[in-house]
Amino acid sequence: MLSYRHAYHAGNHADVLKHLMLGEVIDYFNRKDAPYWYVDTHAGAGKYATDSDEANKVGEIHEGLGRLAGWQDAPAAIARYLKRVNAEAGIGRFYPGSPEIASNEMRPQDCLRLFELHPADSQRLERHFEREGKRVQVKAQDGFSGLKAVLPPPTRRGIVLIDPSYEIKDDYDTVIKAVDDALKRFATGCFMVWYPVLPRVESRKMASRLQSACADSHSWLHARLDVRDMQPNGGMSGSGMFVINPPYLLRDTMAEVLPALVERLGTDEGATYVLEGHQR
């Protein structure tokens, strides 16, 4: 099933949470000179025009980035996010996806391995990075199966972002299986799993299932942002990021950021956040 196109949703509240946390994790990895790999299982098209027909059709960027853009006295981590997405003075012409943010933040010695199954988006992604040489490799294939070929990375340091669309109900089970297998191959890797907050039972159980996958062998951090009350037949009311082997500073950062995001992005009394974790 290949109907999902992130161009319709780029810059929404889920992207704010995901890309803010991704940028903070990359900043932490950059503190050491040792190289690392960034692996993205569902990389999308790389970057997205904010004035495209797709973006204008749903206008989700205005309920996400649009509520933060130009925020002059934003908390430090939000200010860093706005700088990464070129929104310090307002919404720009393009919104960078996860691979673009990673590429801009990473050093010449670091490598990106990007997977995207949608044929149109994978071609756009290849064209976007065609001048990067071996540093960036784009594979037009399913990212879940692709993980097995790239883990563990030769650097023994790495960040893996797993963020499927969850259009297919089986994606929830597939993510758990992928995480379980990935941890066996690369136990010290930093794995970042995004999931949508939806009325369906699979979404409600996602964080607890990921906790079980970690058992007591790994540190983890769960950050969830709800921007509205959940409606029984409604769409996505929020999203979560579950990070396995997170940087030790990430919890303190999110403790400052999440209340600010609730205040800025929340649309009704259902706006709230969850922040929990386990330190091994």
- Tell me the chain's radius of gyration from C-alpha atoms: 17
What pLDDT does residue 1 have?
A: 46
Structural contact between residues 192 and 102, judged by C-beta atoms closer than 8 angstroms: no
What pLDDT does residue 235 have?
A: 85
What pLDDT does residue 179 have?
A: 97
What pLDDT does residue 113 have?
A: 98
DSSP string computed for 25-71 = HHHHHTTSSS--EEEETT-TTSEEETTSHHHHHH-GGGGTGGGTTT-
* Closest residue by Cα to residue 117 from 5, 9, 196, 14: 5
Structural contact between residues 32 and 158, judged by C-beta atoms closer than 8 angstroms: no
* C-alpha pair distances (Å), 71 with each of 49, 80, 254, 260, 280: 21, 11, 18, 12, 36
User: What pairs with residue 162 in β-bridges?
Assistant: 193
- Which is the catalytic residue, given 163, 171, 180, 252? 163
Q: Tokens 């690392």 correspond to what residue?
A: 36
CATH number for the domain including 243?
3.40.50.150
Q: Structurally, how many domains does the chain consist of?
A: 1
Structure tokens at 176: 């758990």
What pLDDT does residue 142 have?
A: 93
- Residue 38 covered by a domain: no
Structure tokens at 142: 């399913």
Q: Is 171 a known active-site residue?
A: no
- Residue 251 covered by a domain: yes
- Residue 114 covered by a domain: no
- Residue 190 covered by a domain: yes
- Residue 249 covered by a domain: yes
- Residue 228 covered by a domain: yes
Low-confidence stretches of the chain (pLDDT < 70) are: 1-5, 53, 55-58
Structure tokens at 277: 């974790």
pTM of the prediction?
0.95
Q: Residue 8, SS3?
A: helix
Helix 206-214 to helix 170-185 angle (10° resolution) is 20
Domain that holds residue 226: 6-27+50-104+166-278
- Residue 35 covered by a domain: no
- Residue 42 covered by a domain: no
